Amino acid sequence: MYLYPSLYLLRKLLFFLSCLLVFNAGATSVASLVHLNEQYAKANKLSVEEVHALLDLAYYYNKYEGNFHFSDSICRQAIQVAYKLKSTPLIVKTYEAYYMYSDEFEQRTNSQMYVDRFGALADSVDSEELRCYASYFQSLTWFRSFHFFKAKEKANQIVSKSAELGLSDLQAKALLLISDCHNRLEEKKMALTYLLQALDITRNANLSELNLKTLEALAAMFHLNKNYEKSLEYRDKINEVILSKENPDSLAWISNAFYRIESSSYLNFSKEIEDEAEALMQLSIQRGYMSIYNIFWAFYRSYLIDNHRLERLYILYHETYPEQLRILEKTDLELYYRLQTYFNEYKGKLDTAMTYWEKAEPFWANEPSYYKRSARYIRFAEFLIRTQNYDLAYEKGKAALKWAKAAKYLNFQMQAEALLEQIELQRGFLDSAYVHATNKYELELRIIEMSNEEGLLMMEMYHDMEHQEIVRKKEEETRTADMRATRIMSNAYAIGLVLFLMLSAVIFRQYRLTNQEKIRSDELLLNILPADTAKELKSKGVTTAMHYDNVTVLFCDIVGFTKFSEQMSPTALVREIDIYFRAFDEIIEQYGMEKIKTIGDAYLAVGGVPAQNNATAIDVVSAALAFINKVQELAEERIKDGRRYFELRIGIHTGSVVAGVVGSKKFQYDIWGESVNTAARMEQHSEPGRVNISKVTYELVKDSFECISRGKVEAKNMGAVDMYFVKKKLIS
DSSP secondary structure of 636-662: HHHHHTT-----EEEEEEEEEEEEEEE
Contact (Cβ atoms closer than 8 angstroms) between residue 397 and residue 423 = yes
pLDDT of residue 512: 58
Pairing of strands 602-607, 546-558: antiparallel
* Cα 14 to Cα 18: distance, rounded to the nearest angstrom: 6
Parallel, antiparallel or unpaired: strands 602-607 and 668-672: unpaired
Beta bridge partners of 603: 556, 598
Beta carbons within 10 angstroms of residue 357's beta carbon: 21
Hey, which residues does 590 pair with through a beta bridge? none
What pLDDT score was predicted for residue 485? Answer: 60
d(CA 433, CA 672): 9
- In 3D space, the residue among 162, 158, 148 whose CA is nearest the CA of residue 190 turns out to be 148
Q: Collapse the DSSP code of 693 into the 3-class scheme (helix H, G, I; strand E, B; otherwise coil) and give the result.
A: strand
* Rounded Cα gap, residues 114 and 127, in angstroms: 18
Supply the pLDDT for residue 86.
Answer: 75
Q: Pick from 519, 538, 518: which is nearest to 529 by CA?
A: 538
CA-to-CA distance for 451 and 564, rounded, in angstroms?
17
Bridge partner list, 662: 668
pLDDT > 90 in the chain, percent = 26
Query: Which residues of the chain fall below pLDDT 70?
Result: 1-44, 46, 58-72, 99-111, 114, 248-250, 266-271, 288, 448-545, 611-613, 662-668, 732
Spatial separation of the C-alpha atoms in residues 547 and 426, rounded to whole Å? 12
